[in-house]
Structure 1
């Protein structure tokens, strides 16, 4: 009878231990730093969950015991936290991130540079270049147009109602001729391709390191993966002017599709 009781107690203990180790809970966290704490990537590399911090450095993420949480930002040194029993018990994480200072080798050219980019730029002597405001000339402050965008603007946008204007001779012929010939459509496609390429490259530079923390991919396939994402008809809608966490979710969805393609090719 005592043997059965000991066995039962041991079994209950093992079940309790297993429940503690396997239980996934939502953990609230806060990131602190001397610099900006908004939009820091918080990645559960074990369970492949991710989120970002808000303006105050607060975040929520699901995790279980012994999961690895990575904190990543271009302004801070990366940091890993292993989910401990204490964190599971309190359901809270407080993390302090050290500022990542871009340092240069010390150079002496007229005056000593410290190696701190921001400090050296502020200490640099010299007058700023004259701009159009200094001389009272109106100017354009928006994003400079690409060559393809300029060509599209010069070609004009053809609209069917323009044909009615031909009777009065009140419209330029270029938009109509370019529309009929297909040149306008070709230029639109070129602008779209260039916009996709530029956005894809920005995402790759900004997010590839953190994304491949969670979803490893052979180095030779990484560039191909991003082109695969950019070819999606919803790429611009899903990623242009979106939060990092939204872009990461899109990349996650495309990763599943990409790996299916890779595996089907191997088979």
Structure 2
């Protein structure tokens, strides 16, 4: 069955005016996409599983999308191992009452996905009896995948990867904009400037460090006292010119070694 037919079939089964069918992008990999109201969420997934034409017996994944003022989209992807087609089912829950019915009794494989979505987005799944922490420590506060959640790592440490929005490819140009998830200075987690640091005031936690004070024009940095190192044995002292090496014995034409004549003042005198 083609993607359009899969979507239309689920709309016929759910029988609700608010159910809308469409097709996702992806050309050859397009999927039937059906939007249902939260009250028909379980009915839609049950119909997709039990209907002989759809037969979506394999639960692939479930997650959510933060639409800010629009609420949250809860998304589930199902697959039919018999007919080799997929189905994407979505529902939108309001931000102030983010809850939808659990489908663990229909698809036991959804238990892990509902726990993760509850932990990361703060969406409740009524009927799920084990919505305990899955990836984060129990004392963690907040939901990291909500768009209003502050990315503390971006504030505490500059992003080491690709260039942030606002930076040119050449590395220069206009000043970089704040990356997504980082609040403006003074909105969250400010720390006072250390005593004696010039150039910055209070700013985001872990912001840019203060620049060192500039020297007045024409002033050279003072050099520390340096002690002249003692020369090692066999080496000349610093500043002395190395002397020439003493001439070695040179062989004569008859093959005998010629001894160099001693210079005046050498011990032993002339030979």
With normalisation by structure 1, the TM-score equals: 0.19
With normalisation by structure 2, the TM-score equals: 0.18
Give the greater-gyration-radius structure (CA): 2
Relative contact order, higher structure (CA 8 A, sep 6+): 1
